[in-house]
Chains A and B, each alone.
Chain A
Amino acid sequence: MKKQTTTIIITTVITTIIVIIGFILLMPIIGPRFIHPMMMGNQSAPADLDTSTTLLSDAGLFRVSYSSDSSPLPLNQIHSWTIHIETADGQPVEGAEILVDGGMPQHGHGLPTQPEVTEDLGNGDYRVEGMKFQMLGFWEVKFNINADGQSDNVTFNLILE
């Protein structure tokens, strides 16, 4: 009877030691992923992100598209875009006043530069200078468009990889 109790105690102790050793071995893999799930700071872009380069503006006033003079979009290099603006029914919008903004919504910071629309190229095309992205990942680029007394915004999503 006494021997049996000793056996049980030894078994318990050894099992505990094994479990602890196993846990230590597995720590680097399990890691903080499960210990601090809220601190993982999920950096991946939303799965259903619309990265179209042509979009209807928020209130539906303008159809806006962009193209970069550097393709694919470059990391850490200042470059220019051309944006094209037309009305919802396809008429080019000329003489628009355009403001540029943007940033990384998951990081809470803006663009590293202050891009500007520097030239009205005619036929609804505008040159945007000073574009730059200094991190890989999910970016938003916003244009505030004022034309013919009307104002609307459009936000492009893009992934720099």
Chain B
Amino acid sequence: MKRMILIGGGIILTAAAIFLWAQSRQTSWSEAEVVTLKSLWIGSLPALPPDPSNLYADNSRAAEFGQKLFFDTRLSSNGEVACATCHKPELMFSDGLPLAQGVGTTSRKTMTIIGTAYSPWMFWDGRKDSQWAQALGPLESAVEHGGTRAQYAHLIDEVYRAEYESIFGSLPDFSDRARFPEVAAPVDDESARAAWDAMTQADRDAVTQVYVNMGKAIAAYERLIMPAPSRFDTYVEALLKDDKTAMKAALTSDEVAGLRLFIDRAQCINCHNGPLFTNNDFHNTGVPAANDLPADDGRATGARNVLNDEFNCLSQWSDAGENDCAELRYIVSEGHQLDGAFKPPTLRNVAETGPYMHAGQIATLAEVIRHYRSAPIAPVGHSELVMIPFTQIEMAQLEAFLRSLSAGVNAPPELLQAP
């Protein structure tokens, strides 16, 4: 009996020793892996790229004005919806809902605006190619703000005239309701469209110019909203300095194991790459269709929409020259790879921005990871996923790593509330 205990103990000790050795082997990174980790580090984020389509992008007074508009619920048909209704600063500029709720319900989940100044494409399907063009979409959507550009021009005229003129120059007089109806825009609503069509081209352009400048002011504000450095970033910084103590303090061994899976076997990094953990491109990952919603072909329609968008980079309302619009000029606008493809969202603060996927189909991070493990057949187009088996422990490690990316917003506190 004694001998058996000795043999048993010896075997357990040997197994434990092998386990510990393998664990310690896993905590060191190869040279190539260090390069990869550095590419994800927030310190690798390049300087804010200019937005040549928006002359006011870096104008601080435009940003102040944009912040007021962002929080102003008068920018809606019912006086209750502002940009901040769905992009809540306290929820990482998201809303915690599966589908965005404005004056109605949309067919997509609210995306965060944090770090979007780096993205060439906006929305899940990239149907807008600048922050200012994006901001103008929901304002006239029948289910979001539900308003019209004529209504907004009247609001600027009556409430924000002095501030508007100090930034954008003189504002036309919109008080003649015969020329400038209360409700008018090139939208689906028949009466609003009829009122719009009845206006002269010059009057329509005067209203649209104000509308465009509102978007450019909102974009100037949104450009200032960046993600804060997370524990993951502290870890990489420590790794680059070879400071083992600081590395241990930054991430637990489970989080490090999850990080290793993320950049290696789980292949998350294919699409969630760079310091914002997104390549801002479009991928079909076979996300199940949302209940009660029509099939969503994602980028296939988004690419067509952005090419035809009245506010795109090459439009008359853009301040960019033709050579500034490379993304739009060299866009892939056809092909099966666009079917059912959606933009990978940033994973910074991902634990705070559920539910997940383009229509909030998946409630928790654990279920998201299970989705990627099982790689189901896509409801539209072909999924790019391959089935990658993970153990339960590995899935928990991946989730632990994703949670280490939570760090909130890097912006002065006064920008995170109504002015």
Residues of A within 8 A of B (CB): 7, 10-11, 14-15, 18, 21-22, 25-29, 31-32, 35-36, 39-41, 43, 75-76, 78, 107, 109-116, 129-130, 132, 134-137, 161
Contacts and interface: CB of A to CB of B under 8 A. Distances in A.
B330 A129 contact: yes
> What band does the interface of chain B fall in when counting residues whose beta carbon is under 8 Å from A?
35 or more
Contact of A136 (B1, B39, B281, B388): B39
A154 B273 CA distance: 29
Contact of B391 (A10, A22, A28, A137): A28
A8 to B, nearest CB: 11
A35 B267 CA distance: 18
A25 B20 CA distance: 10
Interface string B186-225: 0000000000000000000000000000000000000000
Contact of B330 (A10, A32, A40, A115): A115
B326 interface: yes
A161 B36 contact: yes
B281 A41 contact: no
Chain A, interface SS category = mixed
B330 A114 contact: yes
Contacts of B280: 76, 134
Contacts of A130: 326, 329-330
Contacts of A32: 388-391
Contacts of B366: none
A65 to B, nearest CB: 22
Interface string B367-398: 00000000000000000101111110110000
Contacts of B265: 40
Contacts of A26: 15, 18-19, 22
Q: Nearest 3 pairs between A and B by C-beta?
A: A130-B330, A22-B15, A32-B389
Nearest to A40: B265
A31 B388 CA distance: 11
Contacts, number: 110
B389 A36 contact: yes
B32 interface: yes
A114 B12 contact: no
B418 interface: no
A25 B36 contact: no
Contacts of A110: 332, 335, 337
A76 B327 CA distance: 11
Contacts of A41: 267, 386, 388
Contact of B388 (A29, A39, A107): A39
B115 interface: no
Interface string B1-38: 10010001001100110110011001000001001100
B326 A129 contact: yes
Given A21-B12, A29-B19, A32-B389, A135 B326 contact: no
Nearest to B276: A76
* Most chain A Cβ neighbours within 10 Å, of B1, B270, B386: B270
Contacts of B32: 161
A25 B15 contact: yes
B332 A113 contact: yes
Nearest to A41: B386
B330 A135 contact: no
A18 B271 CA distance: 42
Interface in B323-356: 326-327, 329-332, 335, 337
A106 to B, nearest CB: 10
B319 to A, nearest CB: 19
B22 A29 contact: yes
7 contacts: A39-B386, A41-B267, A76-B273, A76-B279, A130-B329, A134-B273, A136-B39
A29 B17 CA distance: 13
B181 interface: no
B137 interface: no
Given A32-B389, A109-B384, A135 B271 contact: yes
Nearest to B265: A40
Contacts of B257: 28
Contact of B12 (A18, A35, A78, A116): A18
B269 interface: yes
Contact of A10 (B4, B22, B281, B329): B4
B89 interface: no
Nearest to A136: B273
Nearest to B332: A114
Nearest to B49: A77
Contacts of A132: 330
Nearest to B15: A22
Nearest to B21: A29
B331 A25 contact: no
Given A26-B19, A31-B391, A32-B389, A116 B330 contact: yes
Contacts of B394: 28, 31
B16 A14 contact: no
Nearest to A43: B267
B274 interface: yes
A14 B8 contact: yes
